[in-house]
Amino acid sequence: MGTVGGGTFNVLQRNAAEIARRAGRGIEVAQIAARHVNPTCDLGSTPVTDDVFAVVNNPEIDIIVELIGGSGVAKEVVLQAIANGKHVVTANKALIAVHGNEIFQAAVEKGVMVAFEASVAGGIPIIKALREGLAANQIDWVAGIINGTGNFILTEMREKGRTFEDVLAEAQALGYAEADPTFDVEGIDAAHKLTILASIAFGIPLQFDRAYTEGITRLTTADVNYAEAFGYRIKHLGIARRTEKGAELRVHPTLIPAHRLLANVNGVMNAVMVNGDAVGSTLYYGAGAGAEPTASAVVADIIDVVRTLTTDPNNRVPHLAFQADLLSDLPVLPVEQVETAYYLRLQAQDRPGVLAKVATILSERGINIESIIQKEVEEQDGLVPIILLTHRVLEQHMNDAIAALEALDDIAGPVMRIRVEQLN
Amino acid sequence: MGTVGGGTFNVLQRNAAEIARRAGRGIEVAQIAARHVNPTCDLGSTPVTDDVFAVVNNPEIDIIVELIGGSGVAKEVVLQAIANGKHVVTANKALIAVHGNEIFQAAVEKGVMVAFEASVAGGIPIIKALREGLAANQIDWVAGIINGTGNFILTEMREKGRTFEDVLAEAQALGYAEADPTFDVEGIDAAHKLTILASIAFGIPLQFDRAYTEGITRLTTADVNYAEAFGYRIKHLGIARRTEKGAELRVHPTLIPAHRLLANVNGVMNAVMVNGDAVGSTLYYGAGAGAEPTASAVVADIIDVVRTLTTDPNNRVPHLAFQADLLSDLPVLPVEQVETAYYLRLQAQDRPGVLAKVATILSERGINIESIIQKEVEEQDGLVPIILLTHRVLEQHMNDAIAALEALDDIAGPVMRIRVEQLN
């Protein structure tokens, strides 16, 4: 009964009348398992136990709401609830992304539902939109800001010229970021959510271990400003794209055109773009975390489950949008097989001919330069930054090019590389 | 079988495999009623008739898809289909907004569904989001750009400094606007859609005749530019808000802060903001019209209906989100009872003391000025524009104030008044 558990209880209590008018019946919290009662909640006579399996094995209960998090006891709880023939609602992205295939198979065998809207982008009903609202479409790609902490950091860096480290420390003080920020800033949390979105979009099994994940820790305010000069903004995106060769599944900093709505999603807010062959581009925006926004999704799932308690299981919306026995074996591509455009920042010695060498290395690998900024003023260390945008190229060719660039005597230190997406 | 009918047929054909993998069964177009076959469609062996009631009375058919439009034969078709025990999917906003209460009552009595996602904002699954995705919330307000033609005109006026008349003529030439543009530019089309959104948001019967509707025909490029100077943009919004006194239901030009996502929705695109007590602000963006975006919503509805064909009717999602016998009698407020902030533009004689008289008239009615622009340079007609933003005030007090301002000898012509919303 932590943040989301407390929020869920409070929303169910406060909006009980509204919810009953919608669902056609009341929804009662029959029992709570918690180590500590959430101090924001007035539990009244609701029974509380510290034994989570007392709830899971309670024969009076129809739906188990798992808000523990992680893959330890949460996984046991979910699998035992399914084994007991109970429906499950969960906000647990790590559990679904890593163990979802196993969990959904168990649920299908028992004829119960596992609902997980709250696991991606908090209160935004993005799973419902993808799985039902856009069910007529072949989904071509999904691109989202699906980690609020990372977006808060990037927004502050851009708007106030602050460094990554400075903003991260503030985010930790404000409670946006965990003491160990790895899951947020290295993109692991976003990769969990992207894994779920990609499966629902393309009808493929959950494959978290195939997702490419790159964090935002190496971004500098200089990169943020150069991106701006090119008419772009840097966002930490989760991107899933269907190509003829396979599915791309990647989380990394990305330059996107400054005029796109997604580029204007700031602070801790989340947003997901979905492109379908019939509908074109759509976008879904809202709070990606927090007690009540997440509770909004949890309670919506509870209402959905309540509505379909008596439905023939074969007529329900499948967990991953597609019938469980009709998932596709479309492979997830290694990142070397992904094609994108690139932003490159090089630190060059201020000598004649450097730019020609750089251009030659790129051109020999079929990489076309779209635009370039070469700073006229030498910096303190005697190095001149060269910043360029390329056309689209396979990642493996860009890796070759960067290795060749870094081997030049004229180039100091590593080449900064950020992928670029037009999202059109 | 016009634009949307053709799009629906083509999406069902092209994505038949994808749709069957989702729905768990195939969906077949059994018969088409059309005066003319849509030339974009390859009908194969699908039977076509010019008698729409031959389809409606065909005992082999489970679902009638009504894409005729208007309230004439379309209404007969829908009511006859219901009487025949068939489910209905429609994109007809005028029919639902004006005759929805009657249609839904008939559907409830026969235990069939009438699905109408495509009637609001084209391909954006906004009805599903409001009715299911946000079902845990008390919805506080909805505000949307729900007419693409109007938004195209306002976007061109702002970005290119063009006049309303000039852009309208282009929109007509491009086919965005009808030869008679009244429904679009006077806000009637938007009011149909807003009426539907408000009913679903607040659980009230459809009351199109109570919606306040004001068009964009009087907006000048001067207003667009002054709004920009204050940090705002002008959008033609449909706004529904729940207050303690009743529900607001209004379509009018509106100044909104330029940094809001909604202010950055340009061209023919649509977007709807929804604010709920648990989730906070959310936004849904996409194409609001066009053959395939609208077909995306029609086909999603067909899939939804197919999934629940065998469901107990009492467990289905209610047409207006709330159980039909539990709709609220919350009154729709007359616009005089609406409270908003205002943008006012006056043409004043260039004499001392005019501003003091204006300020006195406002202050006597409890209207506080938030900011003001008085042009220093006299215009050709010897008049000086005074532009001001007020704090929030009841519309009836503003009406009084404007009458008093227009009665001043120092003020020439009518006062331009545009409502202002912060959307926070």
pLDDT of residue B350: 87
Burial of B376 per CB tally in 10 Å (0-12, 13-18, 19+): exposed
What is the per-residue pLDDT across B212-265, written as a single tens digit (0 to 9) for each? Answer: 999 999 999 999 999 999 999 999 999 999 999 999 999 999 999 999 999 999
Indicate the helix (H) or strand (E) that contains A173: helix A164-174
8 Å CB contact between B284 and B124:
yes
- Widest CA span in chain B: 80
Residues paired with A332 in a beta bridge: A247
Mean pLDDT calculated for residue range B109-119: 97
Q: How confident is the model at residue A301 (pLDDT cuts 50, 70, 90)?
A: very high
Residues whose CB is less than 8 angstroms from the CB of residue A45 and which lie 6 or more positions away in sequence, other chains included: none
Tell which of B134, B264, B277, B330 to mutate to test the A interface (max A CBs under 10 Å).
B134
* Nearest residue of A to residue B292, measured between CA atoms: A278
Does the pLDDT of residue B16 top 90, yes or no? yes
pLDDT of residue B378: 61
8 Å CB contact between B229 and B373:
yes
What is the per-residue pLDDT across B402-419, written as a single tens digit (0 to 9) for each? Answer: 999 999 999 999 999 999
Does the pLDDT of residue B174 top 90, yes or no? no
8 Å CB contact between A127 and A200:
yes
How far apart are the C-alpha atoms of A270 and A107, rounded to whole Å? 30
Helices and strands: H and E segment counts in chain B: 14, 16
B/e letters for A92-131, b = 16+ CB within 10 Å, e = fewer, are bbbbbbbbbbebbebbbebebbbbbbbbbbbbbbbbbbbb
- For B187-191, the CB contacts below 8 A with 24+ separation are B187/B147, B187/B150, B187/B213, B187/B214, B187/B215, B187/B216, B187/B236, B187/B238, B187/B251, B187/B252, B188/B213, B189/B93, B189/B146, B189/B147, B190/B146, B190/B147, B190/B150, B190/B236, B190/B238, B190/B251, B191/B97, B191/B238, B191/B251
Q: Which alpha helices (H) appear in B209-347, and where do they start and end?
A: 221-229, 291-307
CB contact under 8 A, A303 and B132: yes
Q: Coil, strand, or helix at residue A208?
A: helix
Does the pLDDT of residue B179 top 90, yes or no? no
What is the per-residue pLDDT across A66-120, written as a single tens digit (0 to 9) for each? Answer: 999 999 999 999 999 999 999 999 999 999 999 999 999 999 999 999 999 999 9
How far apart are the C-alpha atoms of B363 and B354, rounded to whole Å? 14
pLDDT of residue A350: 87
What is the per-residue pLDDT across A150-172, written as a single tens digit (0 to 9) for each? Answer: 999 999 999 999 999 999 999 88
Q: How confident is the model at residue A174 (pLDDT cuts 50, 70, 90)?
A: confident
Residues whose CB is less than 8 angstroms from the CB of residue B13 and which lie 6 or more positions away in sequence, other chains included: B41, B42
pLDDT of residue B176: 75
Provide the shortest C-alpha distance from residue B39 to chain A (in Å). 18
What is the per-residue pLDDT across A207-231, written as a single tens digit (0 to 9) for each? Answer: 999 999 999 999 999 999 999 999 9
Tell which of A25, A259, A279 to mutate to test the B interface (max B CBs under 10 Å).
A279
CB contact under 8 A, B315 and A315: no
- Widest CA span in chain A: 80
Q: How confident is the model at residue A179 (pLDDT cuts 50, 70, 90)?
A: confident
**By C-alpha distance, which of B38, B87, B421 is closest to B233?**
B421
Please report the DSSP string for B313-367 in residue order: GGGSPPTTSS-GGG---PPBPPGGG-EEEEEEEEEEES-TTHHHHHHHHHHHTTP
Please identify which residue in the block is written with the tokens 């070759």: A400
- Tell me the chain B residues in contact with residue A259 when contact means C-beta distances shorter than 8 Å: 264
Q: Coil, strand, or helix at residue A193?
A: helix
How far apart are the C-alpha atoms of B71 and B73, rounded to whole Å? 7
**By C-alpha distance, which of B348, B350, B333 is closest to B396?**
B333
Residues of the binding site of A: 93, 178
- Tell me the chain B residues in contact with residue A265 when contact means C-beta distances shorter than 8 Å: 261
Q: Could you tell me how far CA A75 lies from the centroid of its own chain?
A: 21
Please identify which residue in the block is written with the tokens 């938030």: B370
Does the pLDDT of residue A311 top 90, yes or no? no
**By C-alpha distance, which of A342, A284, A247, A297 is closest to A144?**
A284
Provide the shortest C-alpha distance from residue B318 to chain A (in Å). 7
Does the pLDDT of residue A377 top 70, yes or no? no
- Percent pLDDT > 90 in chain B is 91
**By C-alpha distance, which of B403, B343, B195, B19 is closest to A323?**
B19
- Tell me the chain B residues in contact with residue A285 when contact means C-beta distances shorter than 8 Å: 261, 282-285
Residues whose CB is less than 8 angstroms from the CB of residue A394 and which lie 6 or more positions away in sequence, other chains included: A336, A337, A338, A339
8 Å CB contact between B102 and B66:
no
Nearest CB neighbour to A296, from listed B18, B136, B287: B136
pLDDT of residue B260: 97
8 Å CB contact between B256 and B161:
no
CB contact under 8 A, B280 and A286: yes
Does the pLDDT of residue A296 top 80, yes or no? yes
Residues whose CB is less than 8 angstroms from the CB of residue A13 and which lie 6 or more positions away in sequence, other chains included: A41, A42
Tell which of A22, A120, A233, A309 to mutate to test the B interface (max B CBs under 10 Å).
A22
B/e letters for B402-420, b = 16+ CB within 10 Å, e = fewer, are bebbeebebbeeebbbbbb
Does the pLDDT of residue B37 top 70, yes or no? yes
**Residue type at position A378:** E
Nearest CB neighbour to B203, from listed A21, A292, A312: A21
**Set A75, A86, A128, A193: catalytic member:** A193
Residues paired with A373 in a beta bridge: A387
Residues of the binding site of A for NADPH: 93
8 Å CB contact between A200 and A126:
no
* Nearest residue of A to residue B286, measured between CA atoms: A282
Q: How confident is the model at residue A132 (pLDDT cuts 50, 70, 90)?
A: very high
Indicate the helix (H) or strand (E) that contains B4: helix B3-14
Mean pLDDT calculated for residue range A276-285: 98
Q: How confident is the model at residue B269 (pLDDT cuts 50, 70, 90)?
A: very high
Please identify which residue in the block is written with the tokens 């034994």: A51
* Nearest residue of B to residue A19, measured between CA atoms: B136
Indicate if the alpha-carbon torsion angle A335, A338, A343, A347 is positive or negative. positive
CB contact under 8 A, B282 and A117: no
Q: How confident is the model at residue A352 (pLDDT cuts 50, 70, 90)?
A: confident
Does the pLDDT of residue A423 top 70, yes or no? yes
Nearest CB neighbour to A307, from listed B19, B295, B315: B315
How far apart are the C-alpha atoms of A390 and A163, rounded to whole Å? 26
Does the pLDDT of residue B377 top 70, yes or no? no
- Tell me the chain A residues in contact with residue B115 when contact means C-beta distances shorter than 8 Å: none
What is the per-residue pLDDT across B199-212, written as a single tens digit (0 to 9) for each? Answer: 999 999 999 999 99
Quote the DSSP letter at residue B177.
S
Name the phi and psi angles at B101, rounded to 5. Answer: -60, -45
**By C-alpha distance, which of B70, B108, B117, B125 is closest to B89?**
B117
Residues of the binding site of B: 93, 178
What is the per-residue pLDDT across A22-53, written as a single tens digit (0 to 9) for each? Answer: 999 999 999 999 999 999 999 999 999 999 99
How far apart are the C-alpha atoms of B350 and B378, rounded to whole Å? 7
Please indicate whether residue A251 or residue B315 has the higher confidence score (pLDDT).
A251
Q: How confident is the model at residue A382 (pLDDT cuts 50, 70, 90)?
A: confident
pLDDT of residue A378: 61
Provide the shortest C-alpha distance from residue B262 to chain A (in Å). 9
Nearest CB neighbour to B300, from listed A123, A124, A134: A134
Provide the shortest C-alpha distance from residue B65 to chain A (in Å). 15
Residues whose CB is less than 8 angstroms from the CB of residue A94 and which lie 6 or more positions away in sequence, other chains included: A69, A70, A71, A192
pLDDT of residue A127: 98
Q: Could you tell me how far CA A415 lies from the centroid of its own chain?
A: 27
Q: How confident is the model at residue A379 (pLDDT cuts 50, 70, 90)?
A: low
Nearest CB neighbour to A135, from listed B22, B203, B322: B22
| Averaged pLDDT of chain B | 95
Provide the shortest C-alpha distance from residue A178 to chain B (in Å). 22
Its ipTM equals: 0.97
Mean pLDDT calculated for residue range A262-269: 97
Sketch out chain A's domains with CATH numbers: 3-124+291-326 (3.40.50.720), 126-287 (3.30.360.10), 339-420 (3.30.70.260)
